[in-house]
Amino acid sequence: MTASAEKFTRQTLLEVTPLTPSLFTLRTTRDPGFRFTAGQFARLGVTKADGSTVWRAYSMVSSPYDEFLKFFSIVVPGGEFTSELSRLQVGDSVLVERQAFGYLTLDRFVDGRDLWLLSTGTGVAPFLSILQDFEVWEKFERIILVYSAREQKELAYQDLIHQLTTREYLAQHAHKFTYVPIVTREVIPGELHGRITTLIESGELEARVGAQLTAEHSRVMLCGNPQMIDDTRKLLKERNMQLSLTRRPGQVAVENYW
């Protein structure tokens, strides 16, 4: 897929941080004219050795107010895009389309008391952007981030998550935030273990958080593994929680991050 020069800007890679052999984070410069809503994604382009460009969608990890852009990526074995992206070094160029996309944004919900952010893997990215936006802290009484990975070392941005409520503009809302890390292939003392759907079905997740998933009070965002999203949507549907659409506001918003 190609994009005309008018549709993208060329940004500089400022930082690449390997997390595991298959996961890495990156930070780039940001064009002053690039605007996005927390939770949206951008299309990134990398130029191959033969001169062609490949494009993929990545949610912003960074706040809409940051002067840079942050992204979280998994290396897909043999994947055309991530193989090229993972080889880039600081100072190299990344193309960023001028327009942001996506509907995993707070305006999907017209009401609600508790916001549940349920993520697997790199699907945590849009939620980190949302959590750095002041709007979410004013709109909801409770904010629960659930972040599932296979191994503890795959849980990214832990410093960012733990420091969120120490920021001056968020400190007064610290009591609203609950963070629940989940590891599925290791047993970590004191932490939940198992798939998100299993922990919802058993009641363990709600017990840990001290809140219930209900159509009346809960608004749920899902991002990550498509199987997790499908299975969780079925569980929420059993609780009369529906996908929120423009023509029919509901309790669930989704981004398939695959």
Please report the pLDDT score of residue 200 as a whole number.
97
- Mark out the alpha helices in the chain (DSSP H runs): 80-85, 125-131, 134-139, 158-163, 196-202, 204-209, 226-237
The segment(s) of the chain belonging to CATH 3.40.50.80 are 106-256
Which are the contacts of 4, defined by CB distance < 8 A and separation ≥ 6?
none
Under 8 Å between Cβ of 112 and 135: no
- The DSSP string of 19-36 is EETTEEEEEEE--TT---
DSSP 243: B
| φ, ψ (nearest 5 deg) of residue 166 | -95, -10
Predicted local distance difference test score (pLDDT) of residue 60: 97
CATH 2.40.30.10 in the chain, residue ranges: 5-97
Task: Output the CATH code of domain 106-256.
Answer: 3.40.50.80
Average pLDDT per 10 consecutive residues for the chain, totaling 258 residues: 70 93 93 97 91 92 97 87 85 96 94 97 97 95 97 94 89 93 91 95 97 97 95 97 92 82
Class of domain 5-97: mainly beta
Q: What is the pLDDT of residue 257?
A: 55
Q: What is the DSSP letter of 49?
A: T
- Return all residues near 171 (Cβ < 8 A) that are at least 6 apart: 165
